[in-house]
Structure formats: structure tokens, C-alpha cells
Amino acid sequence: MRLLVTGGLGFIGSNLVRWILQQHPDVELVNVDAETYAGNPANLADLLPHPRYRGVRADVADRATMRALFHDWHPEAVVHLAAESHVDRSLQDATPFLRTNVEGTQVLLDAARETGVGRFVYVSTDEVYGSLGPTGVFTETSPLAPRSPYAVSKAAGDLLAQAAYHTWRQPVIITRCSNNYGPYQYPEKFIPLVILNALEGQPIPLYGDGQQVRDWIHVEDHVRGLWPALTRGTPGRVYNLSARNEQPNRAVAETILALLGADPALLRTVRDRPGHDRRYALDPSRAEQELGFAPRIPWREGLRQTIAWYHQHTAWWRAIREREDYQNYYQQQYG
Ligand code: NAD
Ligand code: TYD
């Protein structure tokens, strides 16, 4: 299979590329990635060069370049992950979110339609459903009610993908996954931030009362769900992916500190994120029943492995944390 992946130098994308190249020897893979601050060639460096992999540095919203690539290479399938992905950055400046997540998705849908791509997975998020109160879970029929510029831009991508199915019967499949954690996650996100600040003895910023709830899944379990969505998912259909693992932020941070044997006093309450979604929880029953989706990695074991990975990859994260753009972002976000 000729498979085009977008965003394959990011956190989830690089885990997906690694897994596919290892598990599926029939796949030839092209990875389109703009190498933004979050796209890191080091995430795949140990695999490369690889006879079935080609990296293309390009912007998914660049229509001419995407058309040329699709017409030249004729991918049979696409997994579209490229995105601006951090809520806090979308509050600072939504502009790149609209370009990449909205325009970029339409450009790829158009190029895929023109060249007859047979399967197109749009990798979305539970954040498109908005925020829950203390009870209930989101299903695929829950209304879209996104509440941050990031979530709105992803929901726009969902709707464009659905429009492409409705209008042209384009074989688009949408996955909506909950919060991921694991190796190669950019350290602006909560779990790697807690681990690395703890390892370096720096204060750990907890927004507001820390009782916001996220539904955590190990990135390998997400990746293992994307494959059957690509190969067996029903076109036009949405699949929620989650490990049914709700955790309040404060408990996540405390568990990590305990696993590290670090000082709990490192936790510092800081000003809450404006408009902070209170709770996400996702029902993955449809993916379980129709795709055989079955997350394998238990939460504490996954956290242990993740902490060990960051312990063993200090050069990887030090290079990021020492960069000027990371330090400027940190300063602007946390003061
Ligand atoms: P990430 O920020 O780590 O990686 C994003 C990748 O996209 C980077 O490699 C970046 O260089 C690339 N990219 C950004 N703009 C681009 C552009 N214009 N053209 C080409 N490439 C571009 O993000 P992630 O956490 O790996 O998320 C990947 C996808 O999964 C996103 O679509 C995100 O919305 C979705 N998702 C993430 C989570 C999560 O918890 N991280 C959960 C559900 C869904
Ligand atoms: P994050 O990793 O940014 O994912 P998302 O906002 O997309 O769910 O944040 C996860 C949770 O952790 C979220 O409720 C916000 C919270 N959080 C903090 O309390 N402190 C922080 O410094 C960060 C980055 C996040």
C-alpha cells in the first residue's frame, strides 16, 4: 500500500510511522511534515534511512505542492494528523490553527478526491465535543460544541471531512481520540511537562483547582486503533478512541511525582486556563465492536514506561527545552 501520512514528525505521527514500518512490510510511506516547532526530525532519526520511507518537508495548506505530490505519487490511502495541537498556543494566536487545521484539511481532501485516494482518515479529538459536567460520556452522536480555537479548528476539519463524504462520497473516516501520552510528546503538554519539571526540580504549574478531568490513552494504543480505522472503518463514519481512563489533573501530577520519588511541594497552583474545559470522557464502544479496538497498556504501567523513556532520552528533551522558541513560549505562558 502507498500510504501518505501528514504530521509524521510530531508526537502521534512519529509513533504511527514507527509502528507501521515495523508491523506492515507491504506499506510504502510518504510523510508530509512542515517541521514546525513541534515537528522534530529526531523523532524518527533512529529509523532512517529506511527503504520504504520518504519524508517531504511541506505545508499541507500549500495547495500547489500538495496537488503535485498527490498527482506524482498517487497515494492509495491517507492518514491526516498534521495540525497545530496545543490549546494554550491557540489562545495566544489562533492564526496558524485556522491555516493548518482548517485550510490544510480542505487542501488534502481536494487533492485526495482529484486523485481517487481510496481511504482517508482524519485524526480528530474528543475536544470537538466540548466539555462535560461531573457525569456522562461523549458518544459519536454527541453534538459538536468546541470551546477553544484549537477545538473549533479541529471540529471544522471534521465537518469538512463529513462534507466531502456527503457531497462526493469520498471515503473519509474520522477518529476522535482522547488525550494521548507516551514517548516523543512535545514537552509543552501536561504529562511530559510534569515529568521533566520534576526531573529538573522545577515548579510544576497546575491550572486552577487541578480537578479538571482528562481521559488518558497511551499513544501506542491510539496508533493500534488507527490502523483498523484505516483498513476496515466504514466510510463516512466517526469512531471514538479511548481507554476509558478518566483522571483529574492533580492526581496525574501526584502519581508521576510519587513514581519519580520527587517532592510533592513542586506542584504549584497557577492561574487557570481561560475557558478551561472541565471534563472529557469518551465512549469507545463503536470502535471496540466494529474495529476490534482494545487498548492494552494499563495506566500506571504506561506512566512508568513513559517516565523511563524520558529518563533514557535526556538528549532528546534537553535539546527542545534549551531552544529559544521553547523558552520564549514558557516565559509567555507561565511568566
Ligand atoms: P504534534 O503537535 O506533536 O505534531 C503535529 C505535527 O504536525 C508536527 O510534526 C508538525 O510539524 C506538523 N505540522 C503542523 N503544521 C503543519 C503544516 N501546516 N503542514 C504540515 N505539517 C504540519 O501533535 P500530536 O499531539 O502528535 O497530534 C497529532 C494529531 O492528533 C493532531 O491532528 C491532533 O489534533 C490529534 N490529536 C491529538 C491528541 C493528543 O492528545 N496529542 C489527541 C487526539 C487527537
Ligand atoms: P494539555 O496537555 O494541554 O491537553 P488538553 O488541554 O488538550 O487536554 O493539558 C491537559 C490538562 O492539563 C488540561 O486540563 C490542562 C492541564 N494543564 C495544567 O494544569 N498545567 C499545564 O501547565 C498544562 C500544559 C496543562
Q: Which of 59, 84, 103, 127 is catalytic?
A: 127
In the structure, which protein residues have their CB atom closer than 6 angstroms to any atom of ligand 2? 87, 179, 189-190, 193, 205-207, 212, 214, 249, 273
What is the architecture of the domain spanning 2-184+217-246+278-297?
Answer: 3-Layer(aba) Sandwich (3.40)
Q: How far is CA 206 from CA 187, 189, 210, 262, in A?
A: 15, 12, 6, 16
Instruction: Give me the residues of the chain with pLDDT under 70, please.
Output: none
DSSP code, position 264: G
**Cα gap 314→204, rounded to integer Å:** 18
pTM: 0.99
**Cα gap 256→270, rounded to integer Å:** 19
3-state secondary structure (DSSP) of residue 260: helix
Atom of ligand 2 nearest to the CA of 127: 7
Q: How many H-runs (helices) and E-runs (strands) does the chain carry?
A: 13, 12
Atom of ligand 1 nearest to the CA of 100: 18
Q: 254 C-alpha to center of ligand 1: Å?
A: 27
pLDDT tens digits, residue range 215-246? 999 999 999 999 999 999 999 999 999 999 99
Ligand nearest to C-alpha 222: 1
**What ranges do the domains of the chain cover?**
2-184+217-246+278-297
Atom of ligand 2 nearest to the CA of 253: 19
Nearest CA to 118 out of 200, 27, 231 is that of 231
**Cα gap 267→203, rounded to integer Å:** 6
Asked if residue 267 has its Cβ within 6 Å of ligand 1, the reply is no
DSSP code, position 9: T
Give the distance between the most distant pair of CA atoms in the chain: 57
Q: Are 226 and 167 in contact (CB under 8 A)?
A: no
DSSP states of 144-205: P---SHHHHHHHHHHHHHHHHHHHH---EEEEEE-EEESTT--TTSHHHHHHHHHHTT--EE
What is the model's pLDDT at position 198?
98
Sign of CA dihedral 217, 220, 226, 228: negative
Check if 126 is active-site.
yes
> All 3 cell numbers of residue 321?
527545552
Check if 254 is active-site.
no
Look-up: residue for cell 498527490? 70
DSSP states of 277-327: --B--B--HHHHHHH-------HHHHHHHHHHHHHHTHHHHHHHHTSHHHH
What is the model's pLDDT at position 89?
98
Q: Is 39 exposed, middle or buried (0-12, 13-18, 19+ CB in 10 A)?
A: buried
What is the model's pLDDT at position 119?
98
What is the model's pLDDT at position 194?
98
How are the residues of the chain apportioned to helix, strand and coil, as percentages rounded to the nearest 5? 45, 20, 35
